[in-house]
Amino acid sequence: MDELEAGAEPLGRVRRPGGGRKRAAEVDPGLRPALLALVEPDMRGDPMAPLRWTTKSTRKLADELIRQGHRVCADAVGDLLREEGFSLQANAKTIEGAQHPDHDTQFRYINYRAKDHWAPVTR
């Protein structure tokens, strides 16, 4: 504070490049495969489509990973899922009723539109 108040130039970086705590997946290489193994049975959406999601919460996934011996928190699980292309969606209660007859068609259309929208970005 004294240096700043005296008008001294800032020194730049406080920490060396690469300093700080390493990401959970870097410290534990088995974490990502273990997470994907937990998510795979309950994964929703076409695996080749840009929209994928899971019905499990990040907190429950983190608890199961901890039981398996991995050191991870729910926030890190969320980050890993996003890196793997998952969309984190909370379950919402809805009014029960018959499933719409075009349910699958609707999701295929949404995936088609998402691919169409993202296509110019990847070119």
- The pTM for the full model equals 0.57
Spatial separation of the C-alpha atoms in residues 72 and 24, rounded to whole Å:
6
CA-wise closest residue to 52 among 85, 79, 91: 85
Mean pLDDT (10-residue bins), the chain, 123 residues: 77 73 89 90 61 81 94 93 82 65 78 76 51
Q: What is the pLDDT of residue 119?
A: 66
